[in-house]
Structure 1
C-alpha cells in the first residue's frame, strides 16, 4: 500500500469537508448613526442583524462596530423616537455603513414656554413610554420560560424581627429574663434601623424546568426554621409569611405582595397607570450601556409601585436591575414602607436571568417613620444557572423516594458550606435563642393565654378545654345554654385524638353531647397536611335547618342574635364513621357512614297524610354511605386549633360529594341518592381588584320528605355571611335540584382612590351578587304525594317553606370595607319573592375582617 498517496488523499478529504469553516469569512460592519435633520451623532442606538439577538449600541459619538461569522445579509437600526432602518450588508466582507435616522413623528415648528405651569405629562411622543413599550414587546423572550431547558440552585431566606427596640427595654424587671433575646439587635441588616430578629427560615433547593412537555420540579436539599412549640403551626406561619412575601417576577403583568396585587411597571397596560421618565444612562461593570427609567403612579393611592428599572440597549430590552417601592399614600394597611430589589446576571448567550431578589417591608400601627414595629425580609439567591442543557425525563418528575424529613435534619456544617448567602451575627443566633425561649415557663404561660384569647382553648398538657366562645349561648328552644368541652393534644399522642363536650339547655331541660375518637394513619397529627385518618363520632344536639354551620360550632355566642322568628329547630342524633385521605398533590378523598335521627323542635313539626287523615311523625331516621373528592391545586393554609384558614391564590378548588340513603339499614327509612358539586375560585383583575367566585349545583334522586331536601342556606343574623343568602329566612326554600352562582368583588379602592375625602379615609368598595335556581320534581311534591311530609306552615296557616319557580332567587349588595381598617358594612337588597311573609327586602349587614 502506498502510504504517501493514502495520507495525501486523507489530507484532501479533510480539507474538502472543512472548507466551509476554513474559508468562512467574518462579516464586519462599522459606521456612524446620525440624525437626518441636524446631522448630530446619536448615542445608544441599537444596531443588530435582522431577526437575531446579535447587536450593539452606538457609543457617545454615534459609532458602532458589528461582527459575525454567520452569513447575515441585513442589519436593523432602531432608536426611540426614530423610524427603524433596514440596510443590506455583504456577507464575509468588512464594510462601512453610515446611517441617517429620520424622526418617527413630525417636529414641532414652534415651542411656546409659559411660566408658572408644570408641563402636562403625556404618553404620546414620550421617549420613556416608547422605551417601556419596547421592553413590553420583548418580555416573552427575556423570561426563563423562553428556553427549552433551565436548571439552577436556589437559596431562600425569610427573616422577621422587631424594629427600633430600645436598649433599655431589657433592663425592665419583667423583661430581664428575656435579655438574651432583646439584646440580639443588629443595625447592619438595614442601615439606620435597629433590627431584633425573632424568626428565621431557610431553604436550599435544586430546580429544573422543561418547556415541552412543560414540567417544573423542585428538589429540596435542605430546610431549616425556628420552632415556637406545639401551640403554633410553624409550617402554617412559614406558608403565610411566604404568601405575604411572594416571589417577584417583574415580567408578570401582576405582582402579588402583602395580600395585594400590584401592577408591574412592565405590564402590558402599565403606561395607562404609570408615568415614566428617562433619568440617566449608565455603563455597568461589563461596559454594557443601560437606560435608567424612573416611574411613579398616576394616582398615589392605587396599588402600584414607584422606583427605577434599568434597561439594556443590546436589542433585547431586558431588565438588568429593578428597584420597586411603595409611597406612603398607598391604600394598604399597616405598611410603612416596602422595597423590592431585583438583580440580574448575564447568561453565556447574553440574555439575563434573575440572580437575587430581596423584598423588605416594614409594618406598624401607624405609618410614621422611626416608631417601633415589625420588619420582614425575604432574600432569594440564584446560582449555577444553566440553560438549554437537557436531562433525562426523570430529572423533571418528582421521585417517590424524595423525603422532606431528610432535608430538615441537615447539620450546621452543611449550611455553612452550602448557604448561597450569609447570615448576620444576629440572624445566626435566632435558632438558639428561640430554642431557649420555647423551654421557658414564662413563655409557655404567655402562649397559653394567647391561645385561649385567640383560639379559644386553655391547655392542660395532654388535654385542653374549649372553645371559649361556646361556653354560653341562648336560643328560643333551649333558652339559656351552657356548654363545656375539650380535646386531647399531641402531648398525649400524635396518632389518636379524643374530643368531647356536654351542653345543657335550661328551657328544654335537655342534655346535648358530643364524643369523637380519631386515629391518624400516617403517623402525623390530624391537623397537619396531608391528613390521613379515620374518625368515629356521636353527637346529640340542636340545629337550625338551612343553617350550615361548623360541625360542633352551632352554639357560638355571637350567633345567638338573630332577626325575625327563628324557633324552628331540630334535635339531631348523629352516628358517624369518616375516613379522610389527602395526597401531596392536594387531591383528597373521603368516605363515610352516617346514621341520622331528626326530631322536630320548637314550632317545627313533621306531618303527613295517611288514609286521608293528618298524621304526626315523631322523628325521621336515615342511613347514608358517603363519598367525596376534592382538588385544590397549590393550596396553602394556616392550620388553627379548629379550622384551616386557606391562603388565597389564583387556583380553583373543586369538590364533589355523593351520598346514598339506604332503606332498612340501621333503621334508614328512605332510599335516595344525592350529588353535590361546587367550584370556588379567586379571580384577580389587576387594578380592578379581585373577585371570589362560587358555582354550585346539586340533585337528589329518589323520593324523600322535605327534611332531606336541599334546604338552602339562609342567614338571619346581622353579620354578612359570604356563603349564605343574607335576606332569606331559615327554611324558606327547599329543592331537590339546584344551581347557584355567587360573586363577591373587592375593588380595592379603584374608584374611592379618585375621590378626595374617601381617598384620605382609604375606604374600599365592595359589591356582591347571589343567584339561586332551584325546583322540586313531581316525585317529591307533597301536594301530589300526601304521604310525604307536608311543607311547614305558621300558626296562621301561611306557608313557611316554598319551592323556587322558574324565576331564580336573587340578592345583591354594595358596601364599604376597610372602615377603621377592619369593618365592612353592606347594604343588601333582595330582588324577588317579596310576597313571602316576614321577609325583608333590604337591610344592612356587618362583617369584621382584618386585611392589609
Structure 2
C-alpha cells in the first residue's frame, strides 16, 4: 500500500467545466457563528450544494445566474443578489426565525425523527427501491465509458516558484478551477476506457467486455489505474453501506440512516416531466463515516433522480480531504430509473487544512444504450475468460475511433493532457522525477538501456544471529509490465558468517489464453523455515523472520537450504490456478546452536544432520472476485478484499536422487475479509494440515512464531521459533478493525481519529510418538518436540491503529502454556499501515 501512495502525490487529475457563474463564501448567524449544512441553490434552479462544517461553500454553474437562495432550519431563507458572474469571499448572515423552536435553533441543527416529512418520504423509498434500476429486468446490457483523471491542486505562485518546476513552467498554462471545490488545479493524467456490460438476473451473473482503453501516461500506469478503480468500487446508493476507500460509509438512503443523519424536506420542483422532492441530509454526530448533501426523489415512484454526497471533513478517513459524489438517473418509463452518470472526486492530501496542496483523483462513468430482457443464446458466455493479449488492438485504437465512440466529449483541459504528457516525456528533468517515483512505487530502479531493474531496494539490508549484517543485491529483466518472460537473480553476503548466498529464477508465459507458465529456479541461502506453515514454491521468496533487524530473542534457529525447482502452472478459468512442481532440496542447520539431527540406521554413527529430499507438489488456489493488473508473466493484484481458498499436497519420494524419506503432506487454507457495515472489517484465516509418514524436524510443520517487534500476518506474536512442532495442526486467526467507531464515542479521544483493533489467534496440533523418536538423538541443541495437543494454544491482542495516521501498535497477551521454556506472557508489536 505505501508504495502505491507515493504515486498518488506525483501523478494527478480533474475536470474543468466552462462555468459561467462561480460563487464562494461563508454563512454565519448574527453572532458570527458559522452555520454548517445550509442549503445553497441558484435561485430558480435545482443546482445546489450545502455548506461545510465551517459554514464555507463553493457553487458553480455553466449557466449565468443572478441570485442565490440560502436556507437553513430555524433561520429565515435569504435571497442573495449576485452583482457579478464570479463572486468570491461572500459573507452571508442568516437571521433566526422568530417562531422557530428553541431546541432546533440551539441544538446543532438536529432534526426530529417523528413527524418529519423528509423521513416519511425516506420510508417510501425503502418500500419501493427493489422496483428501481436494473434489478427490475431479467437481462440487461449497456455501454459503459469511464474516465480516470489526476490533477495537482491548489496551484499558486509559491508552488510555481519551487525549484522542482524550474524548466517545467510551461505546464501551468492549463491551470483551471474545480467546479466542486473552487480550487485551482493542473490536469496531468487521463485514462479512458469503453466497455460493453451484460447481465442476467435470473442466473445472477454479469460480465464486462473491454472494447478500448488508452491513457496519457507511461507504461506502468495501468497498475495505478487498476488500484484507483478498486478504491472507487461501484456502489448502489440504495444499499445500507457504500464502500469507498476500504471504508463502509452509511448511505443516506439506508434504513439505519435516521440514526446517523438529520433530514430536511427543503424544496420540490419538476425535473423533466416528474415532480420531485429535494431532501437535505447531514450527520447527527461527528467523526463517523457519513456524508452530507441532498437528493431529488420522484413523488410517484420514490426513485432517486439525482443525488450528491460529500464526505464530512471530520470523518475518520486518512489522506483524503474531500470526497464528492454525484449520480444522475435516467427515466426509462413512468416507473423505472437507471444510472446515467456517476462522478466521484477525491482530494488526496497530507493535511486537511483548506490551503494544503494535494492531488485530485476523479472517476467519471457514463452509462448509455440500455437494452433489456434480451437473453443471450449462450449462457456460458458469462463464464468464458476474457482474453487481452499485449498486442490487442484494444489498447491502440485511433483518435478517430475515440472521437466517434466517446460517450462524453473531452473538454479543452482533458484534450490538453495528452499533448502535455507527450511534451513532458521529452523533458529530461521530468523523466528523472518520474523514474524516482517509479522506483518508490515498484521497489526497483530501472536501467532502461539494458531493460533491467535493480532491486528490490527494500531488501538490501537485513540482520540475524547467523549472518550478522546481511547485504543483498539483485535484479530482474524488465521491458514492460506485460513481459512474457522474466529472469530474476540475487546474491547476498553475511558479514558474520562470511558466506555468499544466491538465487535465480526464470518464468515464461507460454500460453496467454490459459496462462500456462513454466518456472525454473535455484536457491542456496539461509532461511527461517519455522516462520510459515505453507511452503512457497517461489524459490526467491523469503520469510519475514529470516533477517529482521531487531528481535525479541536470539535468531539462530536458521536452516541452510539448497533447492532446485521446476514448476508448471495454468489458469483454466479466471482466478483458478493449478500448479505442479518438482523440487529437490538439501537442508541442514546453519548454526552450531541449532540441531536438525535425526536417527538414521544407514549412517555410520546412527545419526544424520542433513536432509536430501525430492518432492512433487500439487497446489490449487481459487480467488473469487480477485482483480489482476496486467496480463504478462507476472501480475499484481488490483484489489485486496477477495476470498482466498488454497490446497496443497506435497509428496516426498525416497531413494530417487538419494532422497531420504517417503511421506505425504496435505494442507488447506482459507482467508476471508468480512465487511460488517458500520462496525468495521473482520479478517479471518484458517489453516489445517497433516503429514503422513515419519519425517525429521526440517520436514515437520512448525507453529509460525514471531520473534520480532513487527506485525506479521498469520504468525503468533508470543511464540518463539520452533516452540511447537507438529505433524497435524489447525491454526485460526481473527482480527477486527472497528475503523474508529469506539474512539469516536469517547469525548476526549474522538478528535484523535484513533482506531481500535482486536485480535485472537489459536493453534492446535499434535506429533506422533514415531516422529518424536526419529528426532530424539541426544544432541544438546535438540529442539524439544512438543505440540499443543491437549489444549489449544491461544493469544489475544488489543491494538491502537492510526497513530499519526500510519502507525499501529498491538498489545499481545499469551493465554496459556506459560511453563514453556522462555515463554513470553506479554509483548508489543508495531507496524506501519498506510490505510485510508
TM-score normalised by the shorter chain: which range applies? Answer: 0.7 to 0.9
- Residue 754 of structure 1 deviates from its aligned partner by 1.1
> What is residue 503 of structure 2 aligned with on the other side?
514
Q: 1:245 aligns with which of 232, 253, 260?
A: 232
The answer to whether 1:305 aligns with 2:291 is yes
Do the aligned residues in 2 keep the contact of 1:169 with 1:182 (CA within 8 Å)?
no
> What is residue 293 of structure 1 aligned with on the other side?
279
How do residues 310-325 of structure 1 correspond to structure 2 at under 5 angstroms? 310-314=296-300, 316-325=301-310
Q: 2:654 aligns with which of 639, 656, 663?
A: 663
Q: TM-score, normalised by structure 2?
A: 0.81
The 2-side partners of 1:685 and 1:114 are apart by: 34
Size of the aligned set, in residue pairs, is: 725
Q: 1:758 to 1:643 in 2, by over 3 A?
A: farther
> What is residue 159 of structure 1 aligned with on the other side?
149
The answer to whether 1:653 aligns with 2:644 is yes
Q: 1:483 to 1:396 in 2, by over 3 A?
A: closer
> What is residue 552 of structure 2 aligned with on the other side?
563
How do residues 567-606 of structure 1 correspond to structure 2 at under 5 angstroms? 567-582=556-571, 585-602=574-591, 603-606=593-596
The 1-side partners of 2:434 and 2:754 are apart by: 34
- Residue 567 of structure 1 deviates from its aligned partner by 1.6
The 2-side partners of 1:569 and 1:492 are apart by: 35
Cα distance per residue 1:491-515 (max 9 Å; x no partner): 7993433322222334333222112
How do residues 779-798 of structure 1 correspond to structure 2 at under 5 angstroms? 780-782=770-772, 786=773, 788-790=774-776
Q: TM-score, normalised by structure 1?
A: 0.79
Q: 1:400 to 1:675 in 2, by over 3 A?
A: closer
Q: 2:405 aligns with which of 390, 413, 418?
A: 418
How do residues 325-724 of structure 1 correspond to structure 2 at under 5 angstroms? 325-393=310-378, 397=382, 405-453=392-440, 455-461=442-448, 462=450, 463-490=452-479, 494-522=483-511, 532-548=516-532, 551-553=540-542, 559-582=548-571, 585-602=574-591, 603-609=593-599, 615-636=606-627, 646-648=637-639, 650-724=641-715
The answer to whether 1:175 aligns with 2:162 is no
- Residue 624 of structure 1 deviates from its aligned partner by 0.5
Do the aligned residues in 1 keep the contact of 2:223 with 2:629 (CA within 8 Å)?
yes
The answer to whether 1:217 aligns with 2:203 is no
Q: 1:133 to 1:794 in 2, by over 3 A?
A: farther
Q: Helix, strand or coil: the match of 1:183?
A: helix
- Residue 769 of structure 1 deviates from its aligned partner by 0.7
The answer for unaligned runs of 5 or more in structure 1 is 1-110, 525-529
- Bigger mean CA offset, 632-641 vs 423-432: 632-641
The 1-side partners of 2:482 and 2:365 are apart by: 38
The 1-side partners of 2:544 and 2:282 are apart by: 51
How do residues 4-19 of structure 1 correspond to structure 2 at under 5 angstroms? none
> What is residue 816 of structure 1 aligned with on the other side?
800
Q: 1:278 to 1:847 in 2, by over 3 A?
A: same
> What is residue 222 of structure 2 aligned with on the other side?
235
Higher relative contact order (CA 8 A, sep 6+): 2
Do the aligned residues in 1 keep the contact of 2:330 with 2:338 (CA within 8 Å)?
yes
Do the aligned residues in 1 keep the contact of 2:686 with 2:732 (CA within 8 Å)?
yes
The 1-side partners of 2:111 and 2:164 are apart by: 57
- Residue 186 of structure 1 deviates from its aligned partner by 2.7
Q: 1:144 to 1:650 in 2, by over 3 A?
A: farther
How do residues 196-207 of structure 1 correspond to structure 2 at under 5 angstroms? 196-207=186-197
Q: 1:185 to 1:583 in 2, by over 3 A?
A: farther
Q: 1:469 to 1:192 in 2, by over 3 A?
A: closer
How do residues 95-110 of structure 1 correspond to structure 2 at under 5 angstroms? none
Q: Helix, strand or coil: the match of 2:531?
A: coil
Give the number of the structure whose alpha-carbon radius of gyration is greater: 1
Q: Helix, strand or coil: the match of 1:413?
A: helix
Q: Helix, strand or coil: the match of 2:751?
A: helix
Cα distance per residue 1:275-316 (max 9 Å; x no partner): 222222222221x222222222222211111211222221x3
> What is residue 241 of structure 2 aligned with on the other side?
254
- Residue 330 of structure 1 deviates from its aligned partner by 0.7
Q: Helix, strand or coil: the match of 2:616?
A: strand
> What is residue 767 of structure 2 aligned with on the other side?
776
- Residue 517 of structure 1 deviates from its aligned partner by 2.7
The 2-side partners of 1:564 and 1:395 are apart by: 57
> What is residue 81 of structure 1 aligned with on the other side?
none
- Bigger mean CA offset, 683-692 vs 640-649: 640-649
Do the aligned residues in 2 keep the contact of 1:608 with 1:614 (CA within 8 Å)?
no
Q: 1:791 to 1:470 in 2, by over 3 A?
A: farther
Do the aligned residues in 2 keep the contact of 1:486 with 1:500 (CA within 8 Å)?
yes
Q: 1:279 aligns with which of 247, 253, 266?
A: 266
The 2-side partners of 1:656 and 1:711 are apart by: 18
Cα distance per residue 1:156-209 (max 9 Å; x no partner): 111111112236755666534333433222336557322211221111222222
- Residue 443 of structure 1 deviates from its aligned partner by 3.3
Cα distance per residue 1:714-750 (max 9 Å; x no partner): 1100002122111100011111111221111110011
Cα distance per residue 1:38-91 (max 9 Å; x no partner): xxxxxxxxxxxxxxxxxxxxxxxxxxxxxxxxxxxxxxxxxxxxxxxxxxxxxx
Do the aligned residues in 1 keep the contact of 2:813 with 2:825 (CA within 8 Å)?
yes
The 1-side partners of 2:778 and 2:307 are apart by: 66
The 2-side partners of 1:492 and 1:270 are apart by: 44
Cα distance per residue 1:550-574 (max 9 Å; x no partner): 8444589971311123222211111
The answer for unaligned runs of 5 or more in structure 2 is 1-99
> What is residue 733 of structure 1 aligned with on the other side?
724
How do residues 57-206 of structure 1 correspond to structure 2 at under 5 angstroms? 118=107, 121-166=111-156, 175-187=165-177, 190=180, 192-206=182-196
